[in-house]
C-alpha cells in the first residue's frame, strides 16, 4: 500500500480514466471536466505525498488509518470528499474515510441535504447536532465577526468526534487561496509571517489536522463543484456579516490576479520557498553566529 502514493504517474492516469466512484455517476463526460478532475486529483495526491499525510505502515501490519473528513456543505468540502474518494477508489489512498457534518443549529439549515447526498453516493457518514449558533450569536456582538469563536467551538467538537470514531486525522477543505488569504491577514493585521499548514498536530498531541487541497486553486474547485452540481448549503452565519477582513483580502488578491494573471500561483510558490537567512527573525536564523571566513549566504541584492 505504501507504494501506491509513490508511483505518481501511474496513479495520476488511472485515477482519472479508470471506472469511477459512484460520487461521479452524474459528472459531465467532457474533455474539459476530465482535465479539471485530473488536475485536482494530481495536486491533492502530490500534497498527500509531499507532506506525509498518510501514516507509514507499522511493522506487523495494524489497523488501517481512518480520517474524519469534515463536510460543511460548501463547494470546498464537497470537492475534498470527492477527490479523496477518487484516490481511495483507485487504491492510491490507503485510508478509511468517514464524512462528518456538524449541524450547528443555524436557523433554516436544511438537515436533509447532506444525509441524502451521502447515502446516495454510498459514503459512510456521521451527523453531529450541537447548537453552537446560539452560543456564538449570544457571546459575540453583531458588529463583530463570529468566525473565531465559531471555529474554535467547531474544532473542539470535531476533535471529540474523531477520537470517539477512532480517527487519527481531521481532514479539512482549505485550499491554496485560503492559505494565501491567511498569510496576508497575518502579514497585514497580525504582524507575523504564517499561513495555513498542510499538516499539523493538535494541541493535545493525539490528532493530525490535514489539508489535502492546499495546492488546489479555488477557481478550479468552484468550476468542479458547479459541474458536479453539488447540493451546496450556504453558511448564513459568518456570511451574513459585511466588511470581514478576509473578504477585503480576497478582493485585493482578485484585483492583483486580474492585473497580473498567475500572481496567486507565484505567491503560493513563495510559501514553500522560504529563506530564513533573508528575513529578520533571530530566533529562526543565527545571525549572531555568522563569522567572516565561513561560507556566506547568497545576497540577492533585494
pLDDT tens digits, one per residue of 169-206: 999 999 999 999 999 999 998 999 999 999 999 999 99
Tell me which residue of 129, 171, 165, 134 sits closest to 149, measured CA to CA: 134
Helices within the chain (DSSP H only):
8-17, 31-50, 75-89, 113-121, 132-139, 147-164, 176-185, 218-228, 245-259, 263-270
Using the 8-state DSSP alphabet, how is residue 156 labeled? H
221 with 175: CB under 8 angstroms?
yes
Sheet holding 199-201, edge to edge: 125-129, 96-103, 66-70, 169-171, 208-210, 199-201
3-state secondary structure of 169: strand
Residues 7-62 have pLDDT tens digits of 444 444 444 444 789 999 999 999 999 999 999 999 999 999 999 999 887 666 67
Residue 200: strand pairing partners? 209
Q: pTM above 0.95?
A: no
> If pLDDT is split at 50, 70 and 90, which confidence band does 140 have?
low
Return the pLDDT at 210: 98
CB count, 10 Å around CB of 150? 21
What is the average pLDDT score of the chain? 86
C-alpha cell at 209: 489536522
Amino acid at each position: 500500500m505504501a507504494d501506491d502514493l509513490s508511483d505518481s504517474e501511474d496513479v495520476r492516469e488511472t485515477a482519472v480514466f479508470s471506472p469511477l466512484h459512484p460520487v461521479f455517476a452524474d459528472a459531465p463526460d467532457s474533455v474539459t471536466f476530465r482535465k479539471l478532475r485530473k488536475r485536482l486529483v494530481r495536486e491533492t495526491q502530490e500534497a498527500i505525498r509531499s507532506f506525509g499525510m498518510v501514516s507509514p505502515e507499522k511493522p506487523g501490519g495494524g489497523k488501517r488509518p481512518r480520517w474524519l473528513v469534515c463536510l460543511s456543505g460548501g463547494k470546498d468540502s464537497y470537492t475534498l470528499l470527492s477527490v479523496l474518494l477518487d484516490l481511495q477508489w483507485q487504491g492510491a489512498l490507503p485510508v478509511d474515510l468517514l464524512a462528518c457534518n456538524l449541524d450547528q443549529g443555524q436557523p433554516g439549515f436544511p438537515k436533509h441535504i447532506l444525509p441524502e447526498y451521502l447515502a446516495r453516493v454510498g459514503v459512510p457518514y456521521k451527523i453531529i447536532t450541537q447548537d453552537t449558533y446560539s452560543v456564538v450569536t449570544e457571546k459575540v456582538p453583531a458588529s463583530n465577526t463570529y468566525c473565531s469563536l465559531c471555529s474554535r467551538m467547531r474544532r473542539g467538537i470535531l476533535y471529540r468526534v474523531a477520537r470517539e470514531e477512532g480517527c487519527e486525522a481531521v481532514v479539512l477543505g482549505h485550499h491554496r487561496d485560503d492559505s494565501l488569504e491567511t498569510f496576508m491577514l497575518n502579514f497585514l493585521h497580525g504582524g507575523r509571517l504564517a499561513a495555513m499548514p498542510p499538516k499539523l498536530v493538535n494541541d493535545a498531541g493525539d490528532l493530525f489536522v490535514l489539508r489535502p487541497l492546499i495546492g488546489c486553486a479555488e477557481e478550479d474547485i468552484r468550476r468542479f463543484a458547479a459541474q458536479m452540481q453539488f447540493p451546496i448549503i450556504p453558511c448564513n452565519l459568518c456570511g451574513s456579516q459585511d466588511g470581514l477582513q478576509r473578504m477585503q483580502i480576497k478582493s485585493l488578491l482578485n484585483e492583483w490576479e486580474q492585473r497580473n494573471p498567475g500572481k496567486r500561483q507565484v505567491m503560493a510558490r513563495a510559501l514553500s520557498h522560504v529563506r530564513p537567512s533573508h528575513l529578520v527573525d533571530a530566533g529562526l536564523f543565527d545571525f549572531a553566529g555568522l563569522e567572516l571566513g565561513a561560507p556566506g549566504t547568497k545576497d540577492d541584492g533585494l
